Amino acid sequence: MVERHDVVDLIRSKRDRGELATDEIDWLIDAYTRGVVADEQMSALAMAIFLNGMLPREIKDLTLAMIASGERMDFSSIPKTTTDKHSTGGVGDKITLPLAPLVAAFGAAVPQLSGRGLGHTGGTLDKLESIPGWRAKLSNEEFLAQLESVGAVIAAAGAGLAPADGKLYALRDTTGTVECIPLIASSIMSKKIAEGTANLVLDVKFGSGAFLPDPARGRELAETMVRLGQDAGVGTVALLTNMQTPLGYAIGNANEVRESVEVLAGGGPADVVELTIALAREMLALAGQPDADVESALRDGRAMDSWRAMIAAQGGDPDAALPVARETHVILADRDGILIDQPALPYGIAAWRLGAGRARKEDPVDHAAGIDLHVKIGDAVRAGQPLLTMHTSEPARFERAIEALEGAWTIGDPGDPVNDGGPLIADRIS
């Protein structure tokens, strides 16, 4: 087969700040999927894009080409409106767990294809696998049946959805090109559009625990993804949300499930509840229910019933005891005062080092490992009061986790400025 383009020409073009034509992008992604374009060539092109960017038209073409590299799911047989959410990830971000069943309680269908954690950000599937019996892998038939009967599915994406993105994502992770807005936007949106949802709400994070800490960069990513979704005929809005400090009190896997169940029972941390409610309102508004009283569904048990049905449908026991770590280590406050700084990133790294995360995609996780915070930014503390408890099954992990927490909090005096990054929800982009 004679190829219609030469990848070296495309690399040179982006290196020299040129524009790739639609046909060139279509060929590039197809050729990379077929193995004609080598990893080292795609790495060079990814770095050129990282350094020089892409025009909106190029990003759209890249997204459509990655969708075309695989199959698309079809929910037209489901007599419910589909609406989904995607978060760019952070520390303590367990929002999918209470959100999916909450939205499903109103008769919408939530086809949540989720991933696993890598590095300091946790994965939704890892959290749910803390529940005895629960399984992430479903056949297409099982997925559709559960979506129709229960309304919410949280499952692993099949290899057939945007396979080009899978190849490129793995390459970006090892070549320092993850934080590239054209590549991030096309990666996320190719999978979500291929997933087949009719509506999508994006939770785009900024701050210490986000992979794009700068709010301006977060906004640019949100605007790019909203445009891609709308151009593809998917109802899309984005919330720009604050990840300067950890979300909730639990960071890990099993402990984040426990905290999510608290939210579903009508309690839970105020920030987790606020964001869950805000995203649920957006998802239901796109699904044609702008006046849905989502708070009442948390209070009256409907969301909890939906959660139990969702977990049971995937083989899990919603009443089973969750894993508990064999070893704990408590860190105490060294003075009286106010907690004025609590940057999220060190806590994510510490939880990872305790075993809650993975360095390589094939690594196992310790579902019981993680961190429970006892105070949040702005709280008054007393000397000797517990600030946090670390959990792990391997006590040798404590040393490096403690090292990661160097500078992870500052206790100041009343009246000192508090570095909380501002409101939890900074803006809405549509």
3-state secondary structure of 291: coil
Catalytic residue among 84, 93, 126, 165: 165
Indicate if 34 belongs to the active site.
no
Indicate if 172 belongs to the active site.
yes
Largest distance between two CA atoms of the chain? 73
Nearest-angstrom CA–CA distance, 74 and 85: 17
DSSP per-residue codes, 94-148: -THHHHHHHHHTTT-BEEEEE---BTTB--HHHHHTTSTT------HHHHHHHHH
**Contacts (Cβ under 8 Å, ≥6 apart) of 328:** 389, 390, 391
Residue 407: other Cβ atoms inside 10 A: 9
Residue 20 φ/ψ, nearest 5 degrees: -85, 135
Residue 321: other Cβ atoms inside 10 A: 9
Indicate if 416 belongs to the active site.
no
Indicate if 94 belongs to the active site.
no
CA geometry: angle at 330 spanning 382 and 129, to 5°?
125
**Contacts (Cβ under 8 Å, ≥6 apart) of 292:** 106, 280, 281, 284
Place of tokens 């019933």: 305
Question: Which has the closest alpha carbon to 87: 112, 56, 120, 52?
Answer: 112
Contact 153, 147 (CB under 8 A): yes
Catalytic residue among 191, 281, 353, 397: 191
Indicate if 149 belongs to the active site.
no
Which residues are 205's β-sheet partners?
241
Catalytic residue among 87, 187, 260, 306: 187
Nearest-angstrom CA–CA distance, 107 and 147: 10
3-state secondary structure of 337: strand
Contact 60, 224 (CB under 8 A): no
Catalytic residue among 86, 192, 358, 397: 86
DSSP per-residue codes, 225-281: HHHHHHHTT-EEEEEEEE-SS-SSSEEESHHHHHHHHHHHTT-S-HHHHHHHHHHHH
Catalytic residue among 172, 302, 358, 397: 172
As annotated, the active-site residues are 86, 165, 172, 187, 191
